[in-house]
Amino acid sequence: MQTLTLRGGARVAVVAAAWNDAFAIVTRGRVQLELRDGESGPLLGTGAGFWLCGTGVRALRNPDRRTTTVCIITPPDHGLHTSPSTPRTSLTE
């Protein structure tokens, strides 16, 4: 299990191969899903859980000023990696 931390206004790209088996739960704050066509998807609050595989989500964004955290659950043999091009986003185990 890992925690994704998104500072206010931060955005992290969802790479389908890296997030294939991931289930996420918003543990603090809110997350706006960004769809493949660039449109805003659902806004999920604390306690919301969601899959990313096959959903057409291309990014997660924190629409607020306060830090948002998302718990990422993946199978034991699967590692989740984020792009180094997202410096305002951190992923910790």
Strand order in the sheet with 49-51: 49-51, 23-28, 68-73, 2-6, 89-92
pTM above 0.85, yes or no: no
CA pair distance 44, 67, nearest whole angstrom: 14
pLDDT digits (tens, 9 = 90+) for 12-67: 998 877 777 889 999 999 999 999 888 999 999 999 999 877 778 899 999 999 99
Is residue 80 scored above 60 in pLDDT? no
